[in-house]
Homo-oligomer: A and B are copies of this chain.
């Protein structure tokens, strides 16, 4: 079954299946069908089945997929089983919230330390050290960090991004509302609040218009 090429669209749906499977562990059967999963998440059953076929080595006709097996397969596929270390730059409110969010462990993400351009009086946040950005390079090299999280204001984001790349970071999770310029081979994933807001805002506008 090893690794067919997977599309981004499928990849983005996998965490949803995983969350549902883990949250409804209790009680029920050892098995779950693609049909049941689809109904629960309000999706098409063919799509779910096709997605699962990408990561699982198959379900059993009439009964479905072994529940725990499916969880394991998705987690392994997404790399949640081997922890990824990350650093975060920007120890403001959002940075602190991310440092304190315990849910990341379940995704195999471990934030080792926070950095800030001007570290405040506190030297730790949520049990993690806050260090000046000047120490980031040596820190990343010695801990072999490959992932960086940017939670600074938009104006500083590109500079922080450049520094991260110098540190050997290959994947950047960007919370700053700005486009980042990066060389080939570096992935930027924008956690774009503005995008979500646009979708919500448009829905409300349509609602209001309908009322008239």
Residues of A within 8 A of B (CB): 6, 8, 11-12, 14-16, 18-20, 23, 40-42, 78-80, 84, 92-94, 96-97, 100-101, 103-104, 107-109, 146-147, 154, 170-171, 173, 177-179, 181, 185, 187, 189, 191-205, 207
7 A–B pairs (Cβ distance < 8 Å), ordered by A:
A15-B195, A15-B198, A40-B179, A84-B204, A94-B101, A96-B97, A107-B201
Q: Is the CB of B202 within 8 A of A78?
A: yes
Whether the Cβ atoms of A198 and B11 lie closer than 8 Å is yes
Residues of B near A108 (CB, < 8 A) are 201
Residue from B16, B185, B195, B205 in contact with A179 in the complex, judged by beta carbons closer than 8 Å: B16
Tell whether, in the assembled complex, residue B170 and residue A204 are in contact, meaning their CB atoms are under 8 Å apart. Answer: yes
Complex Cα distance A203/B188, Å? 10
The answer to whether B196 and A173 touch across the interface, beta carbons within 8 angstroms, is: yes
- Residue of B179, B187, B199 near A12 (CB, 8 A) is B199
Pairwise interchain contact B8-A199, C-beta atoms closer than 8 A: yes
Among A97, A103, A109, which residue has the most Cβ atoms of chain B within 10 A? A97
Copies of the polypeptide in the assembly: 2
Q: Least Cβ distance of A80 to chain B in Å?
A: 7
Q: A196 is contacted by which of B20, B80, B191 (Cβ under 8 Å)?
A: B191
Contact B97 A154 (CB under 8 A): no
User: With A and B bound together, what is the CA distance between A171 and B203 in angstroms?
Assistant: 7
Q: Which of B19, B41, B80, B177 contacts A201 (CB 8 A)?
A: B80
Min Cβ gap A173→B in Å is 6
Closest B residue to A102 by beta carbon equals B153
Residues of B close to A23: CB separation below 8 A: 154, 178
| A13 CB, nearest partner CB in chain B, Å | 8
Closest to A205 in B: B79
Is there contact, CB below 8 Å, between B19 and A194? yes
Closest to A202 in B: B11
Residues of chain B within 8 A of A199, CB atoms compared: 8, 11-12, 187, 189
